[in-house]
Structure formats: C-alpha cells, structure tokens
Chains A and B, each alone.
Chain A
Amino acid sequence: MSTASAPPLGRTVGHGALAGAVAGGLGAAALSWLVEPSIRAAIAIEEAGSAHEHTAGPVHDHGAEALVSRSEQVVLGLVTVLVVGVLVGIAFALVHRFLGSRLPGRTTAGTTMTLAGLGFLTFTLAPALVVPANPPAVGDPATVDLRTVTYLGTIVCAVGLAALVLGVARSGALRPGTRAVAAVAVGVVGTAVLVAVLPHAADPIPANVPADLVWEFRIASLAQLGLMWLALGATCAWLGQPRSAPVSRAEHLVRA
C-alpha cells in the first residue's frame, strides 16, 4: 500500500499533531499574555453597557445566569486554541506531504516554511483584512451571518488565488522571466479584484469602545496567529528533517 520512499501516513499525522500542539501551546500562551488583557477590558465595557441598559434590576446577575463562568471561559479558550492547533497541524502536515513538492523551496524545510507562510497569508491575513478581528464588546448579532460567509469566502478566494499564482509560477508553457512577471501580475491583479469584489462586512465600532482597545486587540490577535503559523512551520520542518545522517549534515555545515 505505502510506497518505499514515503513515510507512512500515520507518521505524517503524528508529526502534524505534534507540531500543531507546539503551535497551539505557544498560541495559548500568546492568548493568555497578549490578547486576554484586551478581552478583559472589552468585557468590562460590555458589562458596564448592559448594566446601564437594565437599570431596573439592582443586582447585576450576569455571572449567575452565565452558562460558563468567566474563569472556566479563560481556561476553555486556551484549550480551544490548543485543539485548533492540533487539528490545523494535522491538516498542514497532510497538505505538505501531498502538495509540498509543488511549492517553492529547495529542501523539505523550505517548502514547509513556504506552506506556513501561505497558510498565514490565506487563512489569517486575508480574512483579517476583510473582516478584522474584534474584541467581545464589538459585533452586531444581526450581521454575523454576512460576516461569517464573507470570512469563509475570503479564505476560499485567497487559497484559490494562491494556487493560481503558484500554477502560473510553475507553468511550463512560459519562459522563466515571463513566468515570474505573469505570476506577480496575477497575484497583484487578483488581490485588487478580491478587495474590490468582496463585501465590506466589517461592523462599525461602537462609540463606547476606544479605538486603542480595538487596535491593541487586533494586533495581539494577529501576533498570536502569526506566532502559531511560524511555530507550526518551524516544528514541522524540524520533524521532517532527515534523521539518519547527522555526520554528513555537520560536514556540510563545516564546509559551508
């Protein structure tokens, strides 16, 4: 069933899960240290706002009726990031196993980091530009369906555009110079078309939420996600290194 050269599928899944756990663990740490302060501040604004609205009740029983207590929510949020890291890590390793040879990069580690960079661009940066992340106090329940469809549609379009750019960059029908120019042109024009065509679904920021808080949250969220992609790529690349010949690698390094 399995070929002689390729490692078993289970090892790819295992490497992906391990790399995903490293990325998820670092992501959870980033969530805890970078993002949670903004979430706390936003929840305080949210609760002050809702307490102001329901002035009839003297006791604000938000905590009693909550399904999940705030402390549970923080811990479960960290667990969620870890689980998402593992799931994405397995998918990442499998995609790299079957499509990695089509990616730019001379070594396995190179194509792994290329895939991690493409993952950040298509799954994180593209939707973040169209539907930016917001802290809890921002967000209109009436627009959540449009935002979700736009968010997922942006990821699909970005993956499609990245595949198109790579396809043009590898096209055998064009000469190398033409190929590079065509790939860049497809990337630039495709991005411009997507920016123009995708709906402007981002919610307005309510007046009681400071702009500083929203930007701190967005930067922290992007930092967390960027760190997760970097850790995922680096760990996968390290795990995918040939293990058997440390001496020849050392010789290679000495010669270099």
Chain B
Amino acid sequence: MRPGALDRDQRRFSLDQLLQHGLNAIILGGTYALLGIGLTLIFGIMKVVNFTHGEVYAFGAYVMFALVMPLGVNFFVALVLAMALGILLGAAIELLLLSRLRDADIDTTMLVMIGAWIAMQNTEQLAWTGVAHSIKNPFPPEPLVWGALSVSWNRLFVFAVASLLIAGTYYLVNWTKFGKALRATFQDRDTAALMGVRIDRVNTATFALGSGLAAAAGALLGPVFVVVPTMGDLAASKAFAIVILGGLGSVVGATVGGFILAFAEELGSGYISSGYRDAMGFVLIILILLVRPTGLFALKERIS
C-alpha cells in the first residue's frame, strides 16, 4: 500500500471515530441530564444533599426488571409504572425521614440520607442478590446504521424519552403555578411561606418529582445496561458532578452540565486515557471552581 493511501485511510478512520464519539456523547448526555435535573431540584429547593438519588435510580431499574421479566408486563407500561413508583418512593422518603428534620442543619439531614442509602442498597442485594439481571427490550436488535456510525434503537428511545422528560420538567418549573411556588421557595423560603406557599408540600412534591426523574432514568437505562445493586453509586456520583457544573437548582444548568460531562468523558477516554473516564467529571469541577466558582448557570451567589 502506498503511504498516501494509508494516510487517507487513517484520516477517514479517525473522522469516523470522532463522529462516533460525538454521537455516543449526545445519547449519553441526555440520560446524564435527566439524572442531574432531579438532584439539582432537590438540592436547590430543599438544601438536602440527597444520597438516596442513586438508589432511587436503581429502584427504577429493579421495578422495571420485576415487571417486565417475571411478570411479563408491557415494556412501555412498566416504564410508566416504574416512574410512578419512583415518585411514591420519593414522597415516602421525604415524609418519613426528612419532614421531621426541616430545621435541622445540613449535616444532620445528610447523615440520615447516607444511612438510608446504605440500607436501601443492601436491601436491593438481599431482595434480588448480587447477580446481574438484564431486561429484554422490544426494539430491533440490529442497530441503526448511518455510514460508519451506528446507534442502537434502545438508546435512541432512551434519548427521546429523556428529552421529553427534561422538556416537561422545564415547563413544569417555569410555566405552572406549582413551578412558581417552587421558584419562590428557592429564592426566599421565608417570604414564600409568608405569601401563602405551603413549604412542606413544596418540599414533598420536589423530592417526589426529583425521585420520579431518577427512577425514570433507572427504568430507561436498566434495559441498556444490566441491573445490579451497586448501579446507583456510579449514577449518583455523575449526578453530583453535573449539579456542581450546572449550578444549584438550575434545570438548564443541569441539562447543559449533563452534556458537557458526557462529551468530556467520551472525548477524554477516546483521546487521552480510558482509565480516567470517570475522573473527567471531577476534574471539570475543579477547573470550574478555579475559573468560575459560582458554576455555569448559578441562580444565586454561592459564596456566603
């Protein structure tokens, strides 16, 4: 082979590789954003560092597994049910554990959430064992191919649903009465209360909504990956990174943060080192802190 031909060949290969990385990042970013939004709302409104977020995500995946595999429930019906149960679980956690700690300081609530996280994760292992489970999906097994690029139908579906949920949350927060109460609570809790906003209800609703989104993410990604008890840990650490990137309480910030993280991971592991893939998010956080400590889309100054 002539040297010129080799060069051209390699260039085409690397362009294909770049495009494939980009496509992977966009698909991945959608689910990251979904994970981040739920957490950022809880964070922003309730000032609670929610360590159960990852476990609610795993819960969504396990509900999906239990409904689809042994019970044979329709895939799409199961998806809706998983999200609904996630909302209920979130409301239960809030009412049971957090509502009584409303005036407690941040480390008290956080310890409670850490305790709940440990207990939940191990309950999952007790109930379903540590063996990985997979969920069958109704999509064609052959991927969608476009030139040298390809993506599975399942991931495309995940991306579409995630985008819908993100748009829905954005609408809910910015254009509804509930959203107004939410934003008012975020800006000034005491004044909002004086103006007639039921803070306790806003809290429960926020936690339920955030948990519903996490459960939806788990139910969507369960069929893409496999379902294991420790799956929530990785998801939670990504969600934390996204919240910092985007800024506290910002839906837009979490969305953009999710995509930035996905691109950093894909390109970083593709061109720097695959071992540091999961470090990218944290490295980004440190860079952001150096350059712009308020986060990319902070709604409120975070230096007290």
Q: Do A and B interact?
A: no
Q: Which residues of B contact A (CB under 8 A)?
A: none
